[in-house]
Amino acid sequence: MTALDIDYVRLQFPALADGFAYLDNAGGSAVLKPVAERISQYLLNHAVQLGASYGPSQQAGAKVLEARASVAQLINAVHPEECVMGGSTTHLLQILARAIAPSIQPGDEIIVTHSDHEANIGPWQRLCAERGATLKVWSVDVDSLELELADLDTLLSANTRVLAMTHASNILGSVNPVAEVARRVHAVGGKLVVDAVAYAPHRLVDVQASGADYYVFSFYKVFGPHFAVLWGKRELLLALPSLNHFFIGQDVIPYKLQPGNLNYELSYGCIGISDYLQDIGTRLGSQGTARQVMQAAFDAFEVQENLLAETLLAYLREAHGVRIIGKPRVTAGDRVPTISFVVDGVQSEAIVRQVDTARIGIRFGDFYARHLIEALGLAPQGGVVRVSIAHYNTLDEMTRLVDCLDRAIAQLRRS
Ligand X SMILES: Cc1ncc(COP(=O)(O)O)c(C=O)c1O
CA dist., res. 230 & res. 215, Å (int): 6
Taking the complex as a whole, how short is the minimal distance between the CB of residue 171 and ligand X, in angstroms?
9
Chosen residue from 29, 115, 166, 306 binding ligand X by CB under 6 A: 166
- C-alpha separations of 70 from 63, 125, 215, 269 in Å: 10, 33, 16, 10
Q: CB neighbours of 23 closer than 8 A, spacing ≥ 6?
A: 360, 361, 362, 387, 388, 389, 393, 397, 401
According to DSSP, the residues that pair with 135 across neighbouring strands are 110
Q: Does 335 bind ligand X (CB under 6 A)?
A: no
Among 197, 204, 262, 322, interactor with ligand X by CB under 6 A: 197
Question: Interface with ligand X by CB under 6 A: which range of 83-91, 153-161, 264-272, 285-293?
Answer: 83-91
- Which of the stretches 86-94, 123-131, 344-352, 391-399 binds ligand X when contact is defined by CB under 6 A? 86-94
Q: How are strands ordered across the β-sheet holding 338-343?
A: 322-324, 338-343, 384-388, 363-365
Nearest to 348 by CA among 379, 315, 389, 317: 379
Q: State the minimum distance, in angstroms, from the CB of residue 319 to ligand X.
A: 26
C-beta of 90 vs 311, nearer to ligand X:
90
Cα–Cα distance, 159 to 142 (Å, whole number): 27
Please tell me whether residue 25 binds ligand X under the rule CB under 6 A: no
DSSP string, 141-166: PTTT-S--HHHHHHH--TTEEEEEEE
* CB-nearer residue toward ligand X: 27 or 61: 27
* Only segment of 32-40, 51-59, 131-139, 190-198 that touches ligand X (CB under 6 A): 190-198
Determine if 198 is a binding residue for ligand X (CB under 6 A): yes
Q: Quick one: which of 393, 376, 377, 397 has its CA closest to 172?
A: 376
Report the residue number, 88 or 263, with the smaller CB distance to ligand X: 88
Query: In this structure, is the dihedral angle defined by the CA atoms of residues 347, 349, 353 and 358, taken in order, positive or negative?
Result: positive
CA 253, CA 133: separation in Å to the nearest integer? 27
CB of 191 to ligand X, least distance (A): 19
375 within 8 A of 214, measured Cβ to Cβ = no
Q: Which residues, numbered 221-250, are part of the site for ligand X (CB under 6 A)?
A: 228
SS3 375: helix
Q: Identify whether the C-beta of residue 26 lies closer than 8 Å to the C-beta of residue 388.
A: yes
Q: Least distance in Å: CB of 223 to ligand X?
A: 14
Number of residues that bind ligand X (CB under 6 A): 12
Q: Which of 25, 170, 278, 393 binds ligand X (CB under 6 A)?
A: 170
Residue closer to ligand X (CB basis): 145 or 197: 197
Interface with ligand X, residue 88, by CB under 6 A: yes
Out of 25, 160, 218, 348, which residue is the one contacting ligand X (CB under 6 A)?
A: 218
Q: Considering only residues 67, 74, 119, 405, which one is a binding residue for ligand X as defined by CB under 6 A? A: 119
112 sits near ligand X (criterion: CB under 6 A): no
Q: Which of these ranges, 60-68, 151-159, 191-199, 282-290, lies near ligand X under the rule CB under 6 A?
A: 191-199
Q: Spell out the residues 6+ positions from residue 350 whose beta carbon is closer than 8 angstroms to its own.
A: 408, 412
The site map against ligand X for 90-109 (x = CB under 6 A) is x-------------------
Which residue, 67 or 322, is less far from ligand X as judged by CB?
A: 67
Among 38, 63, 114, 117, binds ligand X (CB under 6 A): 117
Smallest gap from residue 99 Cβ to ligand X (A)? 17
Q: Residue 102, exposed/middle/buried by CB under 10 A (0-12, 13-18, 19+)?
A: exposed
How does DSSP assign 264-298, residue by residue?
HHHHHHHHHHHHHHHHHHHHTT--S-HHHHHHHHH
Where does this chain bind ligand X (CB under 6 A)?
88-90, 117, 119, 166, 170, 195, 197-198, 218, 228
